[in-house]
Amino acid sequence: MSGNTEEVKKHIGVYLKVAGALGVGTVVTVLASFLDVALALAVVIALIIALTKGSLVVAFFMHLIEERSRAILWTLALTVTFWFVLMLVPLLTMSDHIGTPKTLPNANAAESHAEEAH
Amino acid sequence: MEIPYTVAERPDTGLNNVKLGIWLFLASEVMLFGGLFSSYVLLRVGNAEWPLGAEFLNIPIGTFNTAVLIGSSVTMVLAFASLKLGDLAKYKTYMGATILLAVLFLLVKSYEYWEKISHDHLPSHGTFLAIYWTMTGLHGLHIIGGIAVNGFLWGPGSSMFHTKRDQFINRVEAAGLYWHFVDLVWIFLFPVLYLL
């Protein structure tokens, strides 16, 4: 944001509108949590609202919408990439079955036949 | 010795030192909280039963605190705009309001913590409580840090307005970026812990 008086005053108007939108978003977040929906859908709804509110904060309060510095944009792009990697860790952990004992359907067949013979 | 690029932009990044530094710091903060959110997901999907936040937490109080923190973000950005307009008195009013709202947030959070302790809902009594205390506790420490920085910039630090105005405005901008980040974290913490 430059020091131009008119521009700063215009920005103040935008800040107040964003403040109103964040207030409405907070009320909607709480009301949406009372909807009788499956957990997965509730998570999606809550995250969409939180992402919208978060984007407003980052874009207007943190002035990212008018940021032209490549250093900041690349830093944030890299951060977002590694953040997604972090979020993938639980998924990778869940899908990793290395070291988990696995019993084959006929694994004890030879022993049970031997027991029957006795 | 004068440190270069405290006000002027560096030719290689197009940023002054303060702005580059605070954005790099915020990037590391994203990874810090990202690690905790990732842990939350891992713990939640790994547990056969997970309590609803409302079973332990007070939703109206959490909603009130969310509004308080958003309000403090608004006063913070208005404080920065007042400085840009050269109005120190307005800046002090808005920055003072930011600090008071942050203190109110902490007081409400302390009441919540006291309620948990009195009901024996301690971190050692369950996975949900453990991650709740860890995430909100770390966030609370960030609030305390923000109050310290904003308090300095409201009080003794503001004398710089008369001597090195541009540098002072840069400092307030950096403090503001940090404060909005703290608000941003809460915007995600609130639904994840209280509502889901």
Nearest to A22 by CA among A59, A52, A66: A52
Confidence (pLDDT) at A108 = 65
CA distance linking residue A58 with residue A54, whole number of Å: 6
Top residue of B19, B43, B70 to mutate, by most chain A CBs within 10 Å, is B70
The per-residue pLDDT string of chain A (118 residues; one tens digit each, 9 = 90 and over) reads 666 888 899 999 999 999 999 999 999 999 999 999 998 899 999 999 999 999 999 999 999 999 888 899 999 999 999 999 988 887 787 777 777 777 777 766 666 666 666 6
- Which burial class, exposed, middle or buried, applies to A29 when counting CB atoms under 10 A from its CB (0-12, 13-18, 19+)? buried
Which residues does chain B have with pLDDT short of 50? none
pLDDT value at position B196? Answer: 86
Nearest by CB: A58 against B46, B77, B184 = B184
Cβ-contact A56, B183 below 8 angstroms: no
**Cβ–Cβ below 8 Å for A57 and B183:** yes
Beta carbons of A25 and A49 less than 8 angstroms apart? yes
* C-alpha distance from B96 to closest chain A C-alpha (Å): 18
Which residues, at least 6 apart from A87, have a Cβ–Cβ distance to it below 8 Å? B34, B37, B38, B41
> Which of B153, B71, B58, B72 lies closest to B108, judged by CA?
B58
Whether A69 sits inside 8 A of B176 (CB atoms) is no
Interface touch A89/B38, C-beta < 8 Å:
yes
Cβ of B195 and A72 within 8 Å? no
The torsion of the CA quartet B135, B137, B139, B142, rounded to 10 degrees, works out to -150
| 3 state SS of B13 | coil
Structure token pair of residue B29: 């903060």
Q: How many CB atoms lie within 10 A of CB B191?
A: 25
Indicate left, alpha or beta for B16 from its phi (over 0: left) and psi (-120 to 50: alpha): beta
CA angle B64-A62-B99, nearest 5°? 45
Q: What pLDDT digit, counting tens, does each position of B103-145 carry?
A: 999 999 999 999 999 999 999 999 999 999 999 999 999 999 9
Which residue on chain A is closest to B166 by alpha carbon?
Answer: A3
DSSP string spanning B42-60?
A: HHHHH-S----HHHHS-HH
What does the block give as tokens for B30?
A: 């994203």
pLDDT at residue number A102: 72
Hey, are the CB atoms on B63 and A26 less than 8 Å from each other?
A: yes
Mutate to test the interface with B, among A8, A39, A62, A96 (most CBs of B within 10 A): A62
Q: Reduce the DSSP state of residue B40 to 3 states and report it.
A: helix
> Comparing C-alpha atoms, which of B72, B73, B63, B195 is closest to residue B132?
B195
Structure tokens at A118: 């006795």
Nearest C-alpha neighbor of B70 from the set A34, A18, A52: A18
Around Cβ A94, how many Cβ atoms within 10 Å? 12
Cβ–Cβ below 8 Å for B191 and A33: yes
- Which ipTM was obtained for this model? 0.92
Pick from B24, B45, B51: nearest CA to B129: B51
Give residue B123's Cα distance to chain centre. 23
pLDDT of residue A89: 81
Residue B182 has what pLDDT? 98
